[in-house]
Amino acid sequence: MTDWYLVYDLEPLPGSWNMAVDEYLFRLAKESQSNFLRFYTWLRPTASLGCNQDISKVLNLEECGRRGVDVVRRMTGGKLVLHHFEVTYSLSSSRSDIFTSTLEGSYRRISEALVRGLVLMGLPATLASTTPSGYARSHYPCFAYPARNEVEIRGKKVIGSAQKRKGPAFVQHGSIPLIKEVELLAAIAYGLDPSRQEGMTSLSDELGRKIDFQEAVAFLLEGFKQYFQCEPQAWAFSSTELEIIKRIKMNKYENWQWTGNRVEPAEV
């Protein structure tokens, strides 16, 4: 019997639904000894905030409205990310024997699996060794700089990830751009230094050709399989589970008290 499951969402989904699914998988991970690996993408351009960020300091809401950019707040930490043409992964587990009992240890193991997938893709991916001075306390968007144990290619950050833990249970999710949307990010985000825009990249830029969602997921999934020596089985949500996810979406991720004001709603 497997302890690895795969949730593979082929169709782009709204940001509020994506965040609600990841939160539900985190809850499942707290209750079980299973690992839930998910790949998904976004229906519309969506800015996601880290759980502790002050929206007024990092995001131009008026410009988001003009440009049709949705806004969500993640349950994880980290910095502002613009999601659109990308692969997003999430991994939820409470298995300390696989992922270690620390945020840093689990983060590094997941990053190493992602590196394996990018290397299979033909890219010279590595882990960043240090975090730039002042970056952690800045209001820069997530992809402005690579931080320690984040995945980079030729010194450019190519995957931005964030994690939430509760005891041994965690959820980690991350953004892997297929193409760059620097102009849109610069328009909606406060504090993006123009000099850093040249340092941003994507899978298509690094490969020198276009790569689509399904092709990229195939390599990344194989990287996880090889690194963790696993064969995830497809996971399908029951009708009861889908109703729970809908309630999480409505109660939290479509609630401005959470998105704008960081007020955590009662769990549903």
Sheet holding 46-49, edge to edge: 70-73, 46-49, 81-83
Beta strands in the chain (DSSP E): 4-8, 35-40, 46-49, 70-73, 81-83, 86-93, 125-127, 151-153, 156-157, 160-166, 169-177, 233-234
φ, ψ of residue 145 to 5 degrees: the values are -145, 150
Please, is 31 exposed, middle or buried when counting C-beta atoms within 10 Å of its C-beta (0-12, 13-18, 19+)? exposed
Label each residue of 93-119 as H, E or C.
ECCHHHHCCCHHHHHHHHHHHHHHHHH
Catalytic residue flag (residue 51):
no
Catalytic pick among 51, 64, 142, 230: 142
Which one, of 174, 171, 208, 193, lies nearest residue 93 by Cα? 171
Token pair recorded at residue 226? 């090889």
What contacts 236, CB < 8 A, 6 or more positions away? Answer: none
* 215 in Cβ contact with 221 (< 8 Å): no
Q: How far is CA 265 from the centre of its chain?
A: 22
Query: Hunting for tokens 């499942």 — which residue is that?
Result: 28
Q: Could you list the active site residues?
A: 142
